[in-house]
Structure 1
Amino acid sequence: MRWRGRKESRNVEDRRGASGPALGGLGGRGGMLNLLPMVFKVLGFKGGLIAVLALGAYGLFSGNLGSMLGTGNIQTTNKQQTVQQNAAEKELVSFVSVVLADTEATWQGLFKEMGGNYKEPRLVLFRNAVQSACGLGQAATGPFYCPADQKVYIDLSFYDDLKRRFKAPGDFAQAYVLAHEVGHHVQTLLGISSKVHKAKSSLSKVQANQLSVRQELQADCFAGIWAHHADRSRQLLEQGDVDEALTAASAIGDDRLQKQAQGHVTPDSFTHGSSSQRVNWFKVGLSSGNIKACDTFSTNKL
């Protein structure tokens, strides 16, 4: 990705230097879990599956962004504590801030075309655990978006897991994760998340899971829309970037995660979609750049 030297977002809160929230009230943490109940936040899987799922859709991709003392654009919630970070982490903070700013440029333009205004989300960087308006979030569950406070949360160590555990290296793979979480924010602004949440209350568990899959796949499609405009309008992408995103999307498919975690696949429990579905819907957004193309709720074939 051609990201160095580009504009960084001002919507970053660095909570990495703050003391961790007291364990106690797990509320209902949102995130890619947006519509998913707290139980689904983690996708109901254990260990690595939880982290992965959080990463990808509602969970499988939620992010944390923190900025270093070195950047004037980052806001620190606890100014009395210095954030200890190495050079690599400092660069990563700059990276996520640039990616966030680029998503802002894309969605501001698209909302303007629709006659609306895009309310930018905030990106919260944390370590280990963080308190959100949706409850307690932990690094083990990956990046997440909370619709109650309209913030994306991420522990940057997740990117190490993405590279080593999920075998999805590359800066554009990391950008895809953040763009997916921002996609959930777009769903919140468009009223999609609230409609899904309401509909799920009257559905069986299997039906609710199926609705969650459609929501997650739409967030993947929205991530593809961002990639489309980042490339066409700002030439952000380099050769190989799309392949990195597709590798990440495939790595966090429900079928692959379940196979790794429990040795078999149970489609009725999918909440984010299969690897092929996630890859396909990212491609739909990437090729079209159009929100209407991302109607995962009306199609009979995911």
Structure 2
Amino acid sequence: MHPQGRQQPGPRPGSAQPAYQPPQQAGFQDGYGASAYQGRYAQPARPPQSPRYPQPQAPRYPQAPQYPQGAGYSRPPQYPQWPQPGQPGPFPQPVRKRRSSVSVLIWVIVAGLVLVGSVGLLGALGESTSTGGGTAYKNETYQVPPPDSNPPEIPVPEYRSELTSWTRQNKIYSVSVAKPVRCELPDIDYGASSDSDVESHLNELTACLMRVWGPALQQAGFTAVRPTVTVYTGNPSTACGKAPSHNAFYCSGDQQIYFSHDLPESIPPDLRSERHVVEAIMAHEFGHAIQARTGILAANAIAKQEFHKAGQDSDELDAGRRSETQADCLSAQFTSAVARSLKLTAADENHVKTLFYDFGDDIGSNGKISPGEGNHGSGSSRRAWYTKGLGSTAISACNTFTAPDSEVQ
């Protein structure tokens, strides 16, 4: 079934192609530098050793394995960083549940999203507009919804073939984001502001994110959900497990975004006070929310699970990089859309590009992880996808799942 409830893009599997057993629970954290899968998806028989996604004729999934909440990430000596993934633990077999009760928790541990942000420089952002004249802002008739603490469940694939079609031929790629879009968000000093002030600021930011992405999601036939943003201290329990410090993450368990009050410490000192750096990180997290609402996140998570069970470590890491670099690109498209309204400059944009580069797998680990061996993308790859997002309003430009391997290192 397609994420919107209709037949999904591409040929519908026939009766000969077995369906997935819907997961009872699943959770992911997708963050700046790493993502930890912690869900329950159906357990497949060992799939063929193909270089990419599982074959459509794969057998039915009778039971679902459970991943641990996620291993910790080591931090480089220069400044705090989100963790690097560890080895999953044992997979106990949960009780099967009906699809109607499926709860997909995709914890996007945006841990250290210190992604190469997307601060749009006005020149690269195309159309310009001003409140006093010129090009009118787009999406002005869109009614921004309030934060939704009880959203509808995210789409989960039923058929093996959907793992590929939902990520590569998703209907979201058929639409574009509007530009320019109004975003009246004042600057804030994260280091000097209280947690409550930061939380209020970030929740206002989601209104801008919805004004850009809500109409595009609806045009493609998806349900747009505005997440809440919670600023936390310590390591509180969430629907996706314990929240990590120095991080921000999207949790698909409750479809909300979490922001650690000490996250700014994970940003290189020379970038901490620059404009739109933290906002670009949050836009990356919102990118994972877009993936969740379109079915991309769940489809990719199941594919990663299969790769792991089959011992296809390089393919599992590749799937992670494609998801993270896509979120980088979507972050940039948001920045491009609101750059005129926020009066972002070319210098602002370059600061965010540097941020995403610095938090690449290779750069953030001080070279301990080589390009193509991490799960979030090299500094060069993340910066390149952020740059690509700045230069196009077509969401298809952010289709990292069809990009050659050389572009998602």
State the 1:273 CA deviation. Answer: 0.3
Letter in 1 for 2:29: G
Specify which of 153, 156, 168 is matched with residue 258 of structure 2.
Answer: 153
Asked if residue 114 in structure 1 is aligned to residue 220 in structure 2, the reply is: yes
Ranges in structure 2 where 5+ consecutive residues have no aligned partner: 1-25, 39-66, 85-107, 115-145, 149-189
Letter in 2 for 1:196: N
Superposed CA offset, 1:210-239 (max 9, x none)? 11001000000010111111125x345245
User: Which range is displaced more, 288-297 or 166-175?
Assistant: 166-175
Letter in 1 for 2:331: A
- 1:61 aligned residue: 113
Letter in 2 for 1:221: C
- The correspondence of residues 91-170 of structure 1 with structure 2, limited to 5 A, is 91-140=197-246, 142-164=247-269, 167-170=271-274
Q: Distance in 2 between matches of 1:268 and 1:86?
A: 34
Superposed CA offset, 1:73-108 (max 9, x none)? 999xxxxxxxxx996236534432332221111111
Q: Distance in 2 between matches of 1:236 and 1:52?
A: 29
Specify which of 242, 250, 256 is matched with residue 349 of structure 2.
Answer: 242
State the 1:282 CA deviation. Answer: 0.9
Letter in 2 for 1:255: D
- 1:212 aligned residue: 320
- The correspondence of residues 165-204 of structure 1 with structure 2, limited to 5 A, is 167-203=271-307, 204=312
Asked if residue 294 in structure 1 is aligned to residue 401 in structure 2, the reply is: no
Q: Distance in 1 between matches of 2:71 and 2:82?
A: 6
Superposed CA offset, 1:125-173 (max 9, x none)? 1111221111111214x11111111011111221133143x85541311
Instruction: Report if aligned partners of 2:206, 2:227 keep a CA contact under 8 Å in 1.
Output: no
User: Which range is displaced more, 239-248 or 210-219?
Assistant: 239-248
Question: Which TM-score applies when normalising by structure 2?
Answer: 0.54
Letter in 2 for 1:275: G
- 1:7 aligned residue: none
Specify which of 348, 358, 365 is matched with residue 258 of structure 1.
Answer: 365
State the 1:202 CA deviation. Answer: 1.9
- 2:31 aligned residue: 32
Question: Which TM-score applies when normalising by structure 1?
Answer: 0.72
Letter in 1 for 2:374: F
Count residues in correspondence: 251
State the 1:295 CA deviation. Answer: 0.5
Instruction: Report if aligned partners of 1:212, 1:272 keep a CA contact under 8 Å in 2.
Output: yes
Q: Distance in 2 between matches of 1:98 and 1:43?
A: 32
**Matched position secondary structure for 2:261:** coil
- 2:81 aligned residue: 52
CA RMSD of aligned residues (A): 3.4
**Matched position secondary structure for 1:288:** coil
Instruction: Report if aligned partners of 1:54, 1:61 keep a CA contact under 8 Å in 2.
Output: no
- 2:329 aligned residue: 221
Letter in 2 for 1:190: T
Q: Distance in 2 between matches of 1:251 and 1:194?
A: 28
Q: Distance in 1 between matches of 2:36 and 2:320?
A: 7
Instruction: Report if aligned partners of 1:42, 1:59 keep a CA contact under 8 Å in 2.
Output: no
